[in-house]
Amino acid sequence: MIIYHPKDDLYHCMFRFITIASLQNLDEFDFTRLRIYDFFFLFPHLAKDIEFPRAKGAAKVKKTAERMQEPYENLPDKKRLFSEMGDYHIQALQILLAKDIFKEVDGKLSISKAFSSLSVSKLLEGSSSKNDGFFHDLINILNQVEITGQSGLKKRTGLMEYRYDAV
């Protein structure tokens, strides 16, 4: 029996990265942050476990995540699931860098000139997630949080080890 899941689809991962980059509205962003957002893009019902900062709209996002229906499938714990997605994340980023859709400068990612091409714009136009207020609000709230440290995004999401980060 063949079972498809978008977490194991490299092309879907590239599409998610492009969508998330367009939702962020930032000049530069981190790959770690992009990976974390991608995880919650695929599994939005797990956003209820995030320790949200005290920010405008955080309670609304958490309530929306709590009301989301959990998928029928059995999923491993979120740390393992996130780790399994790592290889796809790296490959998707390498392809997007090679296609000049993203560019990397000093360890930070940014949107390149090819991102504004007609084909990418057309792809984003048809995306229902682009217009979803939940993801837009979630990203805006989590963009206010640093990635590392005791109150960082890694700790708040519980997806990555944070205790040995250089702060």
Q: What is the pLDDT of residue 5?
A: 85
**Residue 107: what pLDDT?**
87
pLDDT given for residue 35 in this prediction: 96
> Residue 40 has what pLDDT?
94
pLDDT of residue 127: 66
Give the C-alpha distances (Å, rounded to integers) separating 158 from 48, 82, 117. Answer: 12, 10, 36
Looking at residue 129, its pLDDT comes to 59
Q: What is the pLDDT of residue 160?
A: 86
State residue 167's pLDDT score: 61
Q: What pLDDT is recorded for position 10?
A: 95
Q: Which pLDDT belongs to residue 33?
A: 94
How much is the pLDDT for 3? Answer: 80
pLDDT along the chain (167 residues), means of 10: 85 92 86 95 91 88 88 83 94 94 90 75 67 84 89 89 73
Instruction: Report pLDDT for 95.
Output: 95
Domain residue limits, the chain: 6-157
Q: How far is CA 24 from CA 19, 44, 104, in A?
A: 9, 17, 16
Sign of CA dihedral 8, 11, 12, 17: positive
Contact 51, 156 (CB under 8 A): yes
